[in-house]
Amino acid sequence: MDDNRRPIRARSTRWANAITQWLIRTGISPNHISLISILFAALGAGALVLAPGITGSVLCLLGIQGRLLCNLFDGMVATRRPCCCSTSLVTRGRTRCCCST
């Protein structure tokens, strides 16, 4: 695990690493994963409004969980995928990719 990042146990799990590697192979960018996160949040909020009661609450919880997983994976993809362009930035001794794709 990277020493410059807040320790989150889920980053070290086999399932999270397997999904991260799969996402990297698909070519999806961290920004796209973040957009999907917004979609999960909107779906959760919509479920809470449109389906009152326990059904809406459960659907909202699923939306929140999806958003949190997207938040986990966008960071993992951003820090583990190879840089796809010639532009990079060195921050705290670490080279980071600056392209948005």
pLDDT tens string, the chain, 101 residues long: the values are 455 667 777 777 899 999 999 999 999 999 999 999 999 999 999 999 999 899 999 999 999 999 999 999 998 898 887 765 555 555 545 555 555 54
Sequence-ordered list of residues with C-beta below 8 angstroms from that of 55, at least 6 positions apart, any chain: 47
**Entry field: residues in the chain:** 101
Residues 6+ apart with CB under 8 A from 95: 83, 88, 89
* Dihedral over alpha carbons 93, 2, 20, 32 (to 10 degrees): -50
